[in-house]
Amino acid sequence: MQKAIKNRTPIHVDLSPNRDEVYSGICLKSNDEIFIFNCFNEETKEFDGYAIIRNYEINKYREWDKEELEEINNNNSNDFVNKLPLEKMNNIFECLSELKDEKLIAIFNESDNDSYFIGKIENLSKKDVELKLLNENAEWIENENIKIKEITYIGFRTSYEKQLLNKTLNDETDF
């Protein structure tokens, strides 16, 4: 894995049997606690935002082959490299601390792999994060407290979060 990080080689990360998910992208950091990567968007065929997952969920990974590398439409990975304070992001709590000023993040937790929360961090303690939630219509709704130890995935700065954020900004100006 360290070689893939050093060379910025795109990889697929398989989470089965924990979850039926395979994530693709460029690993930026991996330690005993977390795995941080620049996501690859299969639809647009370019790199898109970041994700953080718990390292214990990773069952296996593999580097992309030549054919997969040729599928990249726009190698915009340099837009995402060296943009995070990786030295300060060693566990989920530290990652959330660094993301407290993000306008939107997505969080999956271990109790429900099919749904997730999108919102902005309102409060953070060593045990919990409180998100001001945004629904699928880009409307701010109630707050949700999530136990940090139950978080399995954090996504941010992807096109999905940007699209929702733009919709909230447009709705706020439509008086």
CATH topology of domain 92-175: SH3 type barrels. (2.30.30)
CATH 2.30.30.180: which residues of the chain? 1-90
Which residue in 92, 76, 83, 85 sits closest to 150, CA to CA?
Answer: 92
Q: What is the pLDDT of residue 128?
A: 97
From residue 38, how far is each of 28, 30, 63, 81, 99 by CA, in Å? 7, 12, 14, 8, 15
pLDDT on residue 152: 93
Going residue by residue through the chain (175 aa), what tens digit of pLDDT does each one get? 888 989 999 999 998 887 888 999 999 999 999 999 999 999 999 999 999 999 999 989 999 999 999 999 989 999 999 999 999 999 999 999 999 999 999 999 887 666 789 999 999 999 999 999 998 888 999 999 999 999 999 999 999 888 888 888 776 544 3
Residues of the chain with CATH 2.30.30.100: 92-175
pTM (2 d.p.)? 0.91
Quick one: pLDDT at residue 172? 55
Chosen CATH of 1-90 out of 3.40.1350.10, 3.40.50.300, 2.30.30.180, 2.60.40.650: 2.30.30.180
DSSP per-residue letters across 51-103 = EEEEGGG--EEEE--HHHHHT-SB--GGGTTT-S-GGG-SSHHHHHHHTTT-S
Burial class of residue 39, CB neighbours in 10 A (0-12, 13-18, 19+):
buried
pLDDT at 175: 36
169 phi/psi in degrees, rounded to 5: -65, -40
Q: Give me 19's structure tokens.
A: 């979850």
